[in-house]
Amino acid sequence: MAFQLDKFKRTEYEPRTAEVKVKTEAIQALFDAEDKKVFVVKGLSNVEIARTHAARDTAKNREALLIASEASEAVDVAEAIKGLMELNDDTTPAKAAFYLETFRQGLVEPKMEFLETLKFSKVAAFDVQIMANEILELTGLGYCEKKTRRSTRTAKSVSPSS
């Protein structure tokens, strides 16, 4: 069986999406009572996957630089490096950076900026991991064929002939 390249070229694809129930009570309380307490997430594109790995790698590099700088006698240098990199005791470990960026890249609804996702990750850490795992699962399944929206137009009324 041969790959149908012509069909592939003609077909439009879109990321898979899923609704993920929010577990954290403090976040659930922010939804209207009649609304489903869900966020919508999507599978990632190749570029978005690269961004999640870059976030992880950056965090790893920061950790390694801090360890190396603190191991030396140049404490002033270590403090200067921390200041330049805006690091403190709350610096995000590499794995957490990966999950946070995966969550940020895959979040469809509600839309959040970086600082909002960072705050959300502090308030609802487990939700971030659950949603990041769902995003990775959707990513692994790949994009799906784009759903064509059917017209909901009603038939035109025909006026009687005069």
- Structure confidence at residue 135 (pLDDT): 96
Q: Tell me: the pLDDT tens digits for 60-96?
A: 666 666 666 655 555 555 565 555 454 555 555 778 8
User: Taking the model in full, what pTM does it have?
Assistant: 0.72
* Residue with token string 């403190």: 88
153 part of a folded domain: no
**Confidence bin at 118 (pLDDT 50/70/90):** confident
| Domain containing residue 64: CATH number | 3.30.2220
3 part of a folded domain: no
- Residues 6+ positions from 4 with CB-CB distance below 8 Å: none
Q: Tell me: the pLDDT tens digits for 15-59?
A: 999 999 999 999 999 999 889 999 999 999 999 999 888 887 777
107 part of a folded domain: yes
Higher pLDDT, 150 or 130: 130
149 part of a folded domain: no
55 part of a folded domain: yes
151 part of a folded domain: no
Range of the domain at 31: 13-140
Name the packing angle between helices 94-106 and 46-71 (round to 10°).
160
- Across the range 4-24, mean pLDDT stands at 94
Domain count for the chain: 1
Name the packing angle between helices 114-123 and 125-141 (round to 10°).
120
Identify the bridge partners of residue 17 per DSSP, sorted by sequence position: 42
